[in-house]
Structure 1
């Protein structure tokens, strides 16, 4: 098999793989540039990028070998083509339905082993009333937290969305918010550490993450927060 044929095949392979990459990730880039919501499924994209990295690495290595090594026999082109084909195979696996099903099955197994959901039992109407109440008193950042973001964070698996809740509360108020939420809806697996630290889904007014010790000790320093009466009023309406 001549080097010219292999160069032609490798060129076709690169065009196909990079074409798929542009079509798939170009939409993410365009949405980002237009300041639209980007729905990045990390549980799918991270394994996909791993396979693509391995596959394209082998493909580029063989392409480099093809251009830098002089063939003295017909055996070397065959070796290069075989290894290139292996890289090509690794690069197309992430686009198959079988790959998606395997990732989804692995995710289901992991979800049984680790709790990545607050399991908060709350109705849509109650969520909406809670959201509106917090917005009414400017306790939520209206530009960073939509109603859908609010619902996603409190009810969905942490890895199934890109939503965040950004609170406009100081430490004592945030601690009281957690206490009211967990008491008003006791059917949950929501600890304060999971809600504010482990999930990484609820942020301070400056967009940074909370410090666990600050929240845990907040009420010992300030037994009654400045938003105490407001929070009581908001949660009373949910009953």
Structure 2
């Protein structure tokens, strides 16, 4: 499955510098293979869920994460990646990744609040509006687009809050202890100066999804792309 853009997982760092935090899962439906993710074995969340019923999927220090939260974040990620279509197995794996992301995100927001760091609604709205402009839409148009994609304005704003809260937390707790010496700066500048005029390469990934049914066609397409590069 193609990797998706998502919030970086910083749960390990949070656990080392935070007060004890906990997350527990609530059974719902049978879970597929975890694909190597560190998800509790008794986690059960998948199947068709009624979006109007907010049923607990995980509880993180009294904060409830529902199946609807997971589904809307999955839809948000797919929308941000061009509406990519996934097989049922890939969608289930993505749901597991999203659930872990939501747990991490919740822990980050909670730890930031414990450190008296609060992201105001105005800050969240300002960031949301910037995202809308990046999509060449007005905020109201973006909200409509998200709903039509199966996500919501609330899901995006929650992700924004988590990112802003954790960035501010790290700036307060970590950055004061990071020192960059003049010699390090000079070394980097010298290396950049020395590289002037030399060949540079811009590497990009080309991802081709393949299944047993179309693997030969995908292989032929890959060979054609190599010939054209």
Greater helix fraction, Structure 1 or Structure 2: 1
TM-score over 0.5 for the pair: no
Which TM-score applies when normalising by structure 1? 0.19
